[in-house]
Chain A
Amino acid sequence: MAIPILYPLTLGAFLFGVGLYGALTKTNAIRILMSVELMLNAVNINLVTFSRYITPNNYRGQILTVFVMTVAAAEAAVGLAIILVLGRNRNVVDIDKITLLKG
């Protein structure tokens, strides 16, 4: 491969960092969900990279990526449904105001 393995891995690390930052600082629940999707994409990049560079003819890494995508879709569906219900019932999407977890 012409591209050194470090390049896509660095992109993955950076993307994950951005997603992490977004998930930690944003108060809008939809924005947090987007950040989480970014993090999942970062993981996918890493998985595909390792699959390509280390076991080019065994697709375990790619299969795991397929599952990550499935879970991401499920997570987005349920997450957005929860956000919609919250928006409808309590008129907030600001997670600072949702503290039902407080013991």
Chain B
Amino acid sequence: MIQFTWLVAVLPIISYLLIVALERRLGDKTAYFGIAALLAAFVLSAGIFVEVLNGATYHKEFTWVISGTRAIPLGIQLDHLSATLLAAVTLVSSMIHIYSLGYMHGDKRIPRYYAVLSLFTAGMLGLVIADNYFILLVSWEIMGLCSYLLIGHWYEQKGPQEASMKAFLTTRVGDVALMVGIWLFFAYTGSLKFGEIGEMIKAGHVPATAALVGSLLIFGGAVGKSAQFPLHVWLPDAMAGPTPASALIHAATMVAAGVYLVARSFPIFSAAPPQALLVVAIIGGFTSIFAASIATVMTDIKKVLAYSTVSQLGYMVLALGAGSVVAGTFHLTTHAFFKALLFLVSGSVIHAVHSQEMHEMGGLRKKMPITFWAWTIGTLALAGVPPFAGFFSKDEVLLAAANLPARLTEQGLGHLAWIGNLVFFFGLATAFLTAYYMTRATILTFFGQPRDHHKYDHAHESPGVMAWPLIVLSVPAALVGFAGTTWFGEHGNWWASFIGEQALEWGAAEPHHIGWVMPLAIASALLGILVGYLLYGVAGVKTRQNAITALRPLYTLLKNKYYVDELYMGTVVAATLAFSRVVGWVDQNVVDRIVNWVGAAGEWFADVAGATDRYVVDGAVNGTAAVAMSAGKGLRRLQTGYVQSYMLTMAAMVVVGIILFQVIGG
């Protein structure tokens, strides 16, 4: 079965094509193509996973380009990590496909929704089985496009429209960095393969500075896609899309792609100077506490989950930065399950009460028992309460962070060991905050008295197509964590030995066991739950108001998400607008004057030269003026819409290229 790995990624593409082709004839029934394809893909990848468990691996190559004597092979590969993610992604995605049947019922663009959903999944699956940066980048961009389409599904409304644009442009910043990084390494090594580049760096084919810059550029791609600080701003806004799409984009696939990229590129990171991974760890640690603190004051249930996702992604990045591929990928897998579950539950709640504001909910526990229990499982997993999935993976992450100071000392960065301690503290504080805000969300949504009786009376348990995926996803969300216990596997825990041997090849240092980490993690999680319960379960509204008043500046800061959006608005956006204004002014006042002057000078010259060579000079002057004019207007003409002006620019660049090649390179 393992030789059909490619089929897993191709099945969703087939369903995408079928939906697009048969949309007119079958209408909303095309949704079943998506569901069928994803279920088939899941069965296939489950089979593949079992084979991989029994020791099979798969690698297939074909030649992409032959240029002169250099051939560039591309291929797909299946190892332990990709097989696991393949199974996880297809399971989550097929559940989301089924769930959407209920959630999107009555929507006017169901075929479009399912087509994009399928293509999106195909992008993620392609990314997982790629063995090189080329296929990875193609899949990466497919996902970027599809996320734009999914977030902007209700494009008649202003919110989704702007959010989709924001998501696309913000992640694009990271994509450019990623592309530059890939080409940098390609220029030095002539290879596009993950492992090969790492080996070439180790062998000394790449200067240390270039390796550092290149690996940070690749990390830049992950920062954009996985919504790490400072490019996290798009993810919370992206909640404007349909909730199941949010579950797919922000739990199992797109945001996971960034983390997966860093894990796959680990050979490069470990071969590059150690500062590269330190930057990764700092960004991850900072993002986790930064986003978790914002999540504590959000009142929109989806926004809470969005910031929680950003924070948990920070966790994964932190683990990878601390050198532990095992912890990072483990948290990636468990998080995919429980965060998808939580998103789907929130969708079910929103479906029932037609609101996203937690202040308008309350007491829903009795009305929606299945939803409530699924939410509870997801919450306990996310908060890190044993024995749910998140507990084990979060424990691994914290362990990796606790090992960071020692690791830094080992790498000769002993003077920076305090950063390691700081990052570990961030991780621990995040564990506390996570437990707190999830308790808060649970109590506000499901416990207490209904705050909006009209909405409460209207609420009802979701239909079967929506409830069953919740039940199915609850199982892995609760149990997957046991893969990280010592009960399975011969040495250490099962996951560590399953992923670990490969990770060791990549140069990952697996953390040593530290006894006090686990009790500390449990304690901070329980403390968070306790504080949340005391504040929202026991204390009244009055106490909370007092607390908010006492902490007014902090509360305002968090409520405004640390003003990052405003900062960007004030700097990047304003600078761009100012620049275009300056260019326009220069064009009108300086360039036009020069052009006029050139024209006047030409006329004067033509008069002096006399009538005999009038045509020649006239032509030359006009030519000069035209060159000056087109150069001057060039900036303004960038978006004229005239096809010919684009063509002219291209041709001019080709000519410049020819001349440069001849003068410098020839």
Contacts and interface: CB of A to CB of B under 8 A. Distances in A.
Interface of A: 20, 23-25, 32, 95-96, 98-103
Given A24-B647, A24-B648, 18 more contacts: A20-B651, A23-B647, A25-B644, A32-B644, A95-B642, A95-B644, A96-B642, A99-B640, A99-B641, A99-B642, A100-B641, A101-B641, A101-B642, A101-B643, A102-B639, A102-B641, A103-B639, A103-B641
A24 B641 contact: no
Contacts of A103: 639, 641
Contacts of B642: 95-96, 99, 101
Interface residues of B, number: 9
A98 B641 CA distance: 8
Nearest to B651: A20
A95 B648 CA distance: 14
B644 A23 contact: yes
Contacts of A32: 644
B651 A24 contact: yes
Nearest to A95: B643
Contacts of B647: 23-24
A68 B647 CA distance: 20
Nearest to B640: A102
Contacts of B639: 102-103
A101 B643 CA distance: 8
8 contacts: A24-B644, A24-B651, A25-B644, A32-B644, A101-B642, A101-B643, A102-B639, A103-B641
A67 B643 CA distance: 25
A1 B647 CA distance: 37
The 8 tightest CB contacts between A and B, nearest first, are A102-B641, A99-B641, A101-B641, A103-B639, A24-B648, A20-B651, A24-B644, A23-B647
A37 to B, nearest CB: 15
A96 B641 CA distance: 9
B620 to A, nearest CB: 18
Interface class of chain B by DSSP: helix
A93 to B, nearest CB: 13
Interface of B: 639-644, 647-648, 651
Contacts of A100: 641
B114 to A, nearest CB: 30
Contacts of B651: 20, 24
Contacts of A98: 643
Contacts of B643: 95, 98, 101
A90 to B, nearest CB: 15
A20 B639 CA distance: 21
A46 to B, nearest CB: 14
A100 B642 CA distance: 9
A3 B644 CA distance: 37
A98 B642 CA distance: 7
A101 B651 CA distance: 19
Contacts of B644: 23-25, 32, 95
A93 B452 CA distance: 62
A26 to B, nearest CB: 9
A103 B641 CA distance: 7
Contacts of A95: 642-644
A98 B643 CA distance: 9
Nearest to B654: A20
A47 to B, nearest CB: 16
A24 to B, nearest CB: 5
Contacts of A24: 644, 647-648, 651
A23 B651 CA distance: 10
From B639, B644, B648, residue with most partner A Cβ within 10 Å: B644
A98 to B, nearest CB: 8
Nearest to A103: B639
Contacts of A102: 639-641
A66 B122 CA distance: 34
A100 B640 CA distance: 10
B494 to A, nearest CB: 53
A84 to B, nearest CB: 18
A90 B651 CA distance: 29
A99 B644 CA distance: 10
A102 B651 CA distance: 20
A36 to B, nearest CB: 10
A24 B643 CA distance: 9
A33 to B, nearest CB: 12
B655 to A, nearest CB: 9
Nearest to B645: A24
Contacts of B648: 24
A98 B639 CA distance: 14
Contacts of A25: 644
A20 B644 CA distance: 11
A99 B646 CA distance: 12
A20 B650 CA distance: 11
A25 B640 CA distance: 16
Contacts of A20: 651
Contacts of A23: 644, 647
Q: A24, A95, A98: which has the most chain B beta carbons within 10 Å?
A: A24
A25 B642 CA distance: 12
A25 B651 CA distance: 13
B630 to A, nearest CB: 11
A68 B326 CA distance: 51
A100 B647 CA distance: 16
B50 to A, nearest CB: 45
Contacts of A96: 642
A71 B648 CA distance: 22
B235 to A, nearest CB: 27
A60 to B, nearest CB: 11
A102 B643 CA distance: 9
Contacts of B641: 99-103
Contacts of B640: 99, 102
A23 B642 CA distance: 12
Considering residues B639, B643, B647, which has the most beta carbons from chain A within 10 angstroms of its beta carbon?
Answer: B643
A103 B640 CA distance: 8
A15 B640 CA distance: 28
A103 B645 CA distance: 14
B619 to A, nearest CB: 15
